[in-house]
Amino acid sequence: MRILLGVVVGILIGLAIAYFWGLPLDWIDIGAETSGAVGDVAVTASVRTALALQKDFDLFGGIEVSTERGVVTLTGSVADDEQRQLAGLIARGIEGVREVINDLELAGSDTEEAR
C-alpha cells in the first residue's frame, strides 16, 4: 500500500512541477482531439442519414456532406432554392452541428452550365 501511495504521490508531484515550469503536457489533450474526430464522423453520418430519410430522397441524393470540428459543409446540386434551404435546415437540426456552410448549387444555374 505504501509503495502504491508513493508512486501516486510521485506522479502528482512530477505533473505539478511540469505544470509550473511550463513544460508541454500535450498528451493530456489527446482524448479531446480524438473525440472531436469521432464526433465529426458521427455528425456527417447523422446528416447523411437525415437527408436519406426524407420522403423525396432523390432530391438529396447528390449532396456531399463533410464535417470538421462541428462545421458541416454541404456541396453538390439540388433542383431549386427550396431544396437548398431544406437541406441546410436538416443539417442544422442534427446534434453536434455548430455551423452549416451551404455551398449547394442549383441544377442548371450559370455556374453549373459553365462546367
Q: Mean of the pLDDT values across residues 62-82?
A: 91
Q: Give the residue from 46, 54, 52, 53 showing the smallest Cα distance to 72.
A: 46
CA–CA distance, 11 with 24 (Å, rounded to integer): 16
Assess whether pLDDT exceeds 50 at residue 102.
yes
Assess whether pLDDT exceeds 60 at residue 20.
no
What rounded mean pLDDT belongs to the chain?
A: 77
Assess whether pLDDT exceeds 50 at residue 112.
no
- CATH number of the domain that residue 62 is part of: 3.30.1340.30
Residue 114 φ/ψ, nearest 5 degrees: -70, -15
Residue 21 belongs to some domain of the structure? no
Residue 42 belongs to some domain of the structure? yes
Asked whether 78 and 54 are in contact (CB, 8 A), the reply is: no
Residue 54's domain comprises: 28-113
Name the β-bridge partners of 75: 64, 103
Name the residue with higher pLDDT: 11 or 53.
Answer: 53
